[in-house]
């Protein structure tokens, strides 16, 4: 069957094999750093679910997973507050928490989320992102575990969407006319 989405993709940035290698690299670092500590993976919906599913299967340590959906308040001035659309079920006090994100762009969502989760007193809090887009950064936040870096272009696939579309592409590509 012909892939209905492929016609909108200009070029492939990370093939399935490239992604596998990025996931393995990040998982190896987490396996080493968290050996014996049972971290909680906090997966940010929706973009990170595919990455998180692969990452979790590449971990050989005892770990748990929970999900959260947040959005920044829109408006003319930033309140420094994020809107929790769906919160964690897990009490993170005393836990080693790893936020799992698809891509860090401006960093503003993660900056605010970090503040919110810190107020719940985790034992530690780190950020794991499949991709980093440093050219877009506005807030002072950086990933502790980073799969790969992208330039100033809009990418889709492997969980990343444009208007809820293209999340199911197995690779990551640049959209035509982006």
Q: Which residues bind ligand IMP (CB under 6 A)?
A: 47, 101-110, 133, 154-156, 160
Of 54, 102, 105, 132, the catalytic one is 105
47 touches Mg ion (CB under 5 A): yes
CB count within 10 Å of CB 72 equals 17
* Least distance between Mg ion and beta carbon 97 (Å): 18
Secondary structure, 3-state, 37-99: CCCEEEEECCCCHHHHHHHHHHCCCCCEEEEEEEEECCCCCCCCCEEEEECCCCCCCCCEEEE
Q: Cβ of 107: how many Cβ atoms within 10 Å?
A: 22
Q: Name the residue with the smallest CB distance to Mg ion.
A: 47
Closest distance to Mg ion from the beta carbon of 24 (Å)? 22
Closer to ligand IMP by CB, 92 or 101: give it: 101
Concerning whether 66 is annotated as a catalytic residue, the answer is no
Nearer to ligand IMP, 45 or 61 (CB): 45
Instruction: Report the residue number, 28 or 70, with the smaller CB distance to ligand IMP.
Output: 70
Q: How far is the CB of 135 from ligand IMP (least distance, A)?
A: 11
Q: Which residues pair with 97 in a beta bridge?
A: 40, 125
> Which residues are known to be catalytic?
105
């Amino acid at each position: 069957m012909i892939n209905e989405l492929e016609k909108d993709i200009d070029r492939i940035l990370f093939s399935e094999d490239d992604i596998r290698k990025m996931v393995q690299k990040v998982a190896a670092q987490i396996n080493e750093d968290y050996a014996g500590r049972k971290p909680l993976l906090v997966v940010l919906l929706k973009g990170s679910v595919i990455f998180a599913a692969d990452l979790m299967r590449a971990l050989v340590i005892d770990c748990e997973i929970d999900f959260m959906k947040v959005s920044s308040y829109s408006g003319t001035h930033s309140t420094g507050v994020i809107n929790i659309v769906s919160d964690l079920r897990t009490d993170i006090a005393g836990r080693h928490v790893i936020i799992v994100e698809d891509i860090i762009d401006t960093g503003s969502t993660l900056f605010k989320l970090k503040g919110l989760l810190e107020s719940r007193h985790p034992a530690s809090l780190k950020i794991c992102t499949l991709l980093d887009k440093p050219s877009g950064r506005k807030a002072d936040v950086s990933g502790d575990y980073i799969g790969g870096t992208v330039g100033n272009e809009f990418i889709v696939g492997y969980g990343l969407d444009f208007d809820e579309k293209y999340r199911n592409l197995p690779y990551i590509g640049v959209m035509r006319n982006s």
